[in-house]
Structure 1
Amino acid sequence: MNDVIIIGAGPAGLSAAITCAEKELKPLVIDEYFKPGGRLLGQLYEEPDGFWWNGIRESETLYQQAINLDVEINLNTSVNNIEKQGDYWVVYTEKNTLYAAHLLLATGAAESPIPVPGWTLPGVMSVGAAQVMTNVHRVKPGNRGVIIGVNVLSAAIAMELQLAGVEVASLTLPKKNKITQSEAKPKEVMDSLLHVSHMAPSTVVRYGSKIMKNEWMKKMGISFYPKKGFKMWDIPIQLRKAVIEICGDETVSGVKLATIDSNGEVVDGSEEHIPCDFVCIAGGLYPLAELAAVAGCPFYLVEELGGYVPIHNEYMETPLDRLYVAGNITGVEGAKVAMKQGVTAGLSIAKKGGVPGLTQELNHAIQSTEQSRDNAYIQFHPDVQKGRRIIQEQWEETVGTSQLP
């Protein structure tokens, strides 16, 4: 019998496990991957102060802290079902059945696919897969690639691919259809791209991005945006181009690129062929919350957080007794925010489990989460604060209080 089972060995899950263990609880961490760290494993970027955020190193630090506290971590373990039996949560895995008084879901996020003609060819992958291949396994996805989908995630990974010596021929849009509405509209894409402009090495790009925050200037900017695009990290960011087909017989040989107008409509006769040996598709991230649904947790659609989010409060509790959530399952944000949420969840579990004197420490953890959110280097969703207010309002409507019992 464990005090708490934590599903997910990413930044939120490991941080929660460390916190629980420090409070003399006995946590068990489960993850289906063969290495701990979750999405931390693929992250590598330079922050404004010159510090390089190395996700592999950060995950190793968290893992070692957990091991030093005798936290049990079961990798290569998939969870098939969870349910509540009396006072205990029951977790069914492919190996055994586990019981705990508390259950924390830190399952992270998954990528949203964008359908593009030719996307079943070998050499086509999600942008996250390219990140893992390059940064985790040290295998180049190819020598020259095209990334379809311009957003915070694809822009950051494009930079990482460049650092690994992989040429990114173009970071461009998908063709507009019923599924790719917002991802194919230049103005809406520019709004997203402005949130990573501070990462650009060019002073001109950084200064220009500030001007583009004016709505009138955005319209002008899209109307006169050069067809060849602007370069960031020597990568053409092409908001007036769209991939209408991925080409190749047995594997990717290139893409068919076309000029689009400011509304995302293809300009007839503008097609051109761009040679490449791999293609990444970037549709963004959504909270991976299926297990919360299996448990019976209520949800609410919050676009500002990436999709359907389990209803929860600032203490990381859900309306279901002793079921908690932390990390990207609560809304797509960065690893630093996920780590702070993990600490908060760990303290909430310890407090609910009878550990005395945690009120001040818990309140400090909540404040620390907010500070980390405000100072986040990369914002996956520009209105995340609005999303947090929405989910808090839904909690209060569902439960009637925002306070930890």
Structure 2
Amino acid sequence: MNRVIVIGAGPAGLSAAITVAENGYEVLILDEYMLAGGRLLGQLYEEENGKWWNGIIESKSLYDKAVALGIEIRLGTPVSNIEKLNGSWVIYTDEETYYTSHLLLATGAAEVPLPIPGWTLPGVMSVGAAQVMTNVHRVKPGNRGVIIGVNVLSSAIAMELKLADVDVACITLPKMNQVTKESGNPMDVMNSLLHVSHMAPSAFVKFGSKLMKNDFMKKMGITFFPKKGVKMWDIPIMLRKAVINIYGNGAVEGVTIATISMSGEVIPGTEENISADFVCISGGLYPLAELAAVAGCPFFYIEELGGYVPLHNERMETVLDGLYVAGNITGVEGAKVAISQGVTAGLSITNSMSGGKQEVEIKEAIKKIEHTRDNAFIQFHPAVKEGKQKLQQYWEEYNQQAKVEVHS
């Protein structure tokens, strides 16, 4: 019963398990994938200081440290259900049922699909799938591709594909409909693109982004945005074009794009075809929080964090006794933030198990999360700090209401 169980072998789960083990407690990690590391495995980019962040190397470092500490890691083990019985968390898998008093959910995030005509053709994939194929398995997704969806994720992965000598014809918008409303609106997309301008080697893009300080300048930028796009890493970023169809006979052969208005409406008669043998769809990420929902944890929808997140505090504690969360399940951010959150969650767990002996370390760990967030190279959601403030407010309101109900 004293064994801590962590679900998720990504950066948050591994760092939390390492922290718990370093404090003298036994840990078991469960993960459905065949490799430890989670989304960290596919990451490869150059930081502002000129150093390269290689997710495979970072993952191996965390994994090796966990193994050296005697942490048991069971890969290829999906969790189908969790519940609280007789004061213990019960974790169900196909092979075995596990019990623990302290359970951490570090399940990460999943990609948001964007429905586009032709998206069921072989050769159409999520942009994350292309990243894993290229960076993890060293297999090119194709020779020439089109990325649909202009956001932080697609921008970062386009750069990685370029490094792997994969030809990316363009990054463009999806045709706007009820599902792709924000992803297909040039103004909304402009706001997200500005937050990755520092990643571009183009001095023009970097300089232009500095001018986009207000809505008027942004409208001017959209109005005069080149129809052929602005290049980043020699890849055209097209904010005034949208994919209206993916075509091919049994497999992807190309996409049909059209010019769109400032509001995202297709301009008739502007259609043209772009040849490609693969297409990546990028709708962003959302917290993968189904297991927290199954456990009965309350949720709040916070757009700045990527979607519905389980209610928790800055110590990574949920309102359910013995249940903790860390990483992208708490809001979509980068791997370095996830690692800091994992350390905090690990300290909160060992603090509970040791009778409150690590309060000082927890406070320092929380400060480390803030510092890491403030200095993050990639921000998936620019208003993440506002989202965290909303979450803290919901936490306080929930607990206040719970006190009222107890005394009524």
Q: Answer whether contact 1:23 1:355 (CA < 8 A) is retained.
A: no
Q: Which residue pairs with 2:53 in the alignment?
A: 53
Q: Which residue pairs with 2:252 in the alignment?
A: 252
Q: Hey, what's the Cα distance between the residues in 1 that align with 2:62 and 2:14?
A: 6
Unaligned runs of at least 5 residues, structure 2: 402-408
What displacement does 1:2 show?
4.6
SS at match of 2:195: helix
Q: Which residue pairs with 2:229 in the alignment?
A: 229
SS at match of 1:204: helix
Deviates more, 1:121-130 or 1:356-365: 356-365
Q: Hey, what's the Cα distance between the residues in 1 that align with 2:116 and 2:199?
A: 28
SS at match of 1:182: coil
Taking the TM superposition and a 5 Å limit, the aligned residue runs for 1:105-254 are 105-254=105-254
Deviations 1:106-131 (A, max 9, x none): 00000000000000000000000000
Q: Which residue pairs with 2:405 in the alignment?
A: none
What displacement does 1:380 show?
0.3
Q: Hey, what's the Cα distance between the residues in 1 that align with 2:99 and 2:24?
A: 18
Q: Which residue pairs with 1:396 in the alignment?
A: 396
Deviations 1:212-236 (A, max 9, x none): 1322110100011110000000000
1:3 and 2:3 correspond: yes
Q: Which residue pairs with 1:367 in the alignment?
A: 367
Aligned-partner residue type, residue 40 of structure 1: L
Tell me which stretches of 4 or more aligned residues in structure 1 moved more than 6 Å: none
The number of equivalent residue pairs is 401
1:98 and 2:73 correspond: no
Deviates more, 1:212-221 or 1:7-16: 212-221
1:358 and 2:358 correspond: yes
Q: Answer whether contact 1:2 1:99 (CA < 8 A) is retained.
A: no
What displacement does 1:356 show?
5.1
What displacement does 1:87 show?
2.3
SS at match of 1:363: helix
Q: Hey, what's the Cα distance between the residues in 1 that align with 2:107 and 2:210?
A: 35
Q: Hey, what's the Cα distance between the residues in 2 that align with 1:200 and 1:387?
A: 27
Aligned-partner residue type, residue 4 of structure 1: V
Q: Which residue pairs with 2:12 in the alignment?
A: 12
Q: Hey, what's the Cα distance between the residues in 2 that align with 1:170 and 1:400?
A: 51
Q: Hey, what's the Cα distance between the residues in 1 that align with 2:2 and 2:8?
A: 16
Q: Answer whether contact 1:112 1:285 (CA < 8 A) is retained.
A: yes
Q: Answer whether contact 1:2 1:28 (CA < 8 A) is retained.
A: no
Q: Which residue pairs with 2:283 in the alignment?
A: 283
Deviations 1:152-192 (A, max 9, x none): 00000000000000010010000011111000000100100
Q: Answer whether contact 1:334 1:379 (CA < 8 A) is retained.
A: yes
Identity of aligned residues (%): 67
Q: Hey, what's the Cα distance between the residues in 2 that align with 1:25 and 1:128?
A: 35
Q: What TM-score, normalized by structure 1, do the two folds share?
A: 0.98
Q: Hey, what's the Cα distance between the residues in 1 that align with 2:291 and 2:281?
A: 26
Aligned-partner residue type, residue 186 of structure 1: P
Q: Hey, what's the Cα distance between the residues in 2 that align with 1:325 and 1:85?
A: 19
What displacement does 1:399 show?
1.7
Deviations 1:86-106 (A, max 9, x none): 221110011100011100000
SS at match of 1:213: coil
What displacement does 1:205 show?
1.1
Q: Hey, what's the Cα distance between the residues in 2 that align with 1:241 and 1:142?
A: 23
Q: Which residue pairs with 1:318 in the alignment?
A: 318
Aligned-partner residue type, residue 235 of structure 1: I
What displacement does 1:3 show?
2.4
Taking the TM superposition and a 5 Å limit, the aligned residue runs for 1:6-45 are 6-45=6-45
Deviations 1:243-272 (A, max 9, x none): 000010110000001000100000100000
Q: Hey, what's the Cα distance between the residues in 1 that align with 2:345 and 2:120?
A: 40
Q: Hey, what's the Cα distance between the residues in 2 that align with 1:11 and 1:359?
A: 23
SS at match of 2:4: strand
Aligned-partner residue type, residue 38 of structure 1: G
Q: Hey, what's the Cα distance between the residues in 1 that align with 2:253 and 2:337?
A: 40
Q: Hey, what's the Cα distance between the residues in 2 that align with 1:280 and 1:204?
A: 26
Q: Hey, what's the Cα distance between the residues in 2 that align with 1:355 and 1:51?
A: 41
Q: What TM-score, normalized by structure 2, do the two folds share?
A: 0.97
Deviates more, 1:238-247 or 1:392-401: 392-401
What's the Cα RMSD here? Answer: 0.9
Taking the TM superposition and a 5 Å limit, the aligned residue runs for 1:77-96 are 77-96=77-96
